[in-house]
Structure 1
């Protein structure tokens, strides 16, 4: 199965297709899922000397890992403070630092393996309202108190033209320790690095069933992998492979468009400092410039399970509210993707209670570009070094199963999110 038509697939050389797994294959660890979670877990484990087989149902980076907005933003999830009662002061401090470290892992990986993925440093949180602006001022103080070492700069409302050529915002907070990149180029570079370390990556190898035991058997249509440990890194695409996990993640649709090339001068006028930008609403807008001077504009998270009939026109309206000067500009690419969202919007990293040799990471809720890398390190430490301190801390975070079963899960959450959106309108 080929990649869908996105800006990323159109500007990336995918390389030769990897074969599907055939017959019986043995490994120390089997990883299911060829996105950022799976590939980075395979790389981390192979670097530690374990034999690793990765199974991907389609192509490496076919799903959200190769389609996302490309925004590399500090932090693990939403509102870590509410976990203080369960994790304690030290646990909250650990999670805060982990959110910073997650971006550093990506930085180091790109440098170590010389991955050309259009990396640019600089990101700005955008305030939609005066209340948001006050919240960003408090956020700056919180980050400084946590020891955040990268440059932070508040941008007052009257100076927002220095950040973005739009009248839509009431202030901003620039973070030079976050940034943006080409996610598919990053992932394919990491996949090549994993293979160079000895990991075996198979495509077109959808897993049909898992037989648990001291040696896990992972069956596809054409083969079977036997391994002492199993990692599930499927996120929104887990489906019924492990029902105890799939009910804790809702697959939500997100949408992205890429304009025609705007030319360097026009692109620089829109976003003078070449920052990644994201607003503070429930259904966020996020956008940035590309290396060939397009505007890449995304957001509009849908929980209904139904995509708009015309994604390009749907997202054009949102883009033109922010940038009316782009009315009528050509849209060269428009696509959708599914992201895994948990009820508390905090990553789910752990090990199955019933099968202690089965590990998982999922539910990144829009922070996947960096948190996947941190999750991979946590899993690799637990599996290869028997260092389970970080894993056990993540396991102390409770994660609810969404109500309603498969049929009603999405409609019920869509109603709940509508209530939050209505609060924004008041």
Structure 2
């Protein structure tokens, strides 16, 4: 979205905000605070790193501009999809086989972190296993078969191909040529996961300051200082995890990623029978087009349907008008169903579609640019940030050494160039080429 978190920002009016199961009383940062680690951003990346460090005895403070999970972590499609946006094949071509082998070993780790923490800390977020990639064309099916083969070569054998008749057992729609199940994927209530992780961090002695927008991050020989309008945190190390909502707080990072908005809506409650006719096995779904649709059932039997992108992070004038035709194409039986919620939110796109890890000076680390695969990627990269802080830089250095590629057109024209590119790929989707 185009909005920037402010000190009194409420949650955007999403289904997730309306159905969250933890209501927090925000604590605002006022005056000086000291910590071992200061994390900027109370989303998945920041909380993942913070929990990993707190579990090892570090004194951790998290500073959030709005409220826990206010950004992408509390608004996304709720799908635990393994892998990065850039495929293993792309990574092999771009960075070599050694890097691809390294990445292949950790593509399912982010999901594992989520499953472990949900169980360990008793997080109530409606977690359900399994996700489906849906194919519209025979060419899409060839791509899924190649993906299955590639993942198998990297030791991952959780993917099951589905033909046209088999996918009907999972999706009550006739539009798909087939698909593939990833049995190691899942879906959940994303804001309740974030709120549960915040509670887990606090149970470990961590502190979270909300409604406290960071104004700048400074460092000297002794450590880093994170400033807000009313206070500051002095720490040995700062982790910058603002992602698409960081704004210009750390100018060195602003041009590295571009905010891109995606849209979602939630129907009225459909009732168990009608909902299960849509998704009989209650798995989440995303299709394999460049501009894709994704959908799943909520715990109270709504269909949550998302898709579309707007480069630069602005909102479409009417989210329902944009998404409804796509939903009706997949599920024409829902043409008369009421839409109760519609919202938008940003993810951070890197030009290479590979997340970026790095260090600014000696005491400031960052992670961002998950490019639409942030649910699992953020948990993984948060852990890798924590490893680096603790002294194990093996995995951190591998990612930090990958070159980041600037957007064509720079900050001023990057959205226009990316939009032109998306039109080309959308045309290929429509033509089936």
Q: TM-score range by the shorter chain?
A: over 0.9
| Partner secondary structure for residue 375 of structure 2 | helix
8 A Cα contact 2:310 2:316, kept in partner: no
Alignment match of 2:349 (pick from 341, 353, 365): 341
Match of 1:394 in 2: 399
1:346-403 deviation line (CA, Å, top 9, x unaligned): 1111212xx121111101111111111111110111102x000000110122211223
Match of 1:17 in 2: 25
Alignment match of 2:303 (pick from 278, 284, 295): 295
Match of 2:143 in 1: 135
Q: Is 2:76 the partner of 1:68?
A: yes
Structure 1 stretch displaced more, 416-425 or 215-224: 416-425
Match of 1:421 in 2: 426
Alignment match of 1:193 (pick from 193, 200, 208): 200
8 A Cα contact 2:242 2:368, kept in partner: yes
1:247-295 deviation line (CA, Å, top 9, x unaligned): 1111001000000011111111111111110001111100011111110
TM-score, with normalisation over the residues of structure 2? Answer: 0.94
8 A Cα contact 1:35 1:65, kept in partner: yes
| Partner secondary structure for residue 342 of structure 2 | strand
Alignment match of 1:278 (pick from 286, 294, 315): 286
The CA distance in 1 between the partners of 2:197 and 2:430, in whole Å, is: 43
8 A Cα contact 1:304 1:414, kept in partner: no
The CA distance in 2 between the partners of 1:181 and 1:18, in whole Å, is: 24
Match of 2:363 in 1: 357
Query: 1:25: how far off?
Result: 0.8
Point out where structure 1 has 5 or more consecutive residues left out of the alignment: none
Written as runs of structure 1 = structure 2, the 5 A alignment for 1:11-410 is 11-84=19-92, 88-150=96-158, 152-214=159-221, 215-352=223-360, 355-384=361-390, 386-410=391-415
1:308-333 deviation line (CA, Å, top 9, x unaligned): 22212221111111111110210011
8 A Cα contact 2:259 2:312, kept in partner: no
The CA distance in 2 between the partners of 1:262 and 1:381, in whole Å, is: 45
RMSD: 1.5
The CA distance in 1 between the partners of 2:243 and 2:145, in whole Å, is: 33
8 A Cα contact 1:76 1:95, kept in partner: no
Structure 1 stretch displaced more, 73-82 or 311-320: 73-82
Residues 145 and 211 of structure 1: CA distance in aligned 2, closer, same or farther (over 3 Å):
closer
The CA distance in 2 between the partners of 1:82 and 1:313, in whole Å, is: 34
Point out where structure 2 has 5 or more consecutive residues left out of the alignment: 1-8
8 A Cα contact 1:261 1:293, kept in partner: yes
8 A Cα contact 2:218 2:224, kept in partner: yes
The CA distance in 2 between the partners of 1:103 and 1:368, in whole Å, is: 11
The CA distance in 2 between the partners of 1:92 and 1:256, in whole Å, is: 33
TM-score, with normalisation over the residues of structure 1? Answer: 0.96
Query: 1:16: how far off?
Result: 2.8
| Partner secondary structure for residue 178 of structure 1 | strand
The CA distance in 1 between the partners of 2:77 and 2:29, in whole Å, is: 31
Query: 1:304: how far off?
Result: 5.0
| Partner secondary structure for residue 145 of structure 2 | helix
Query: 1:65: how far off?
Result: 0.3
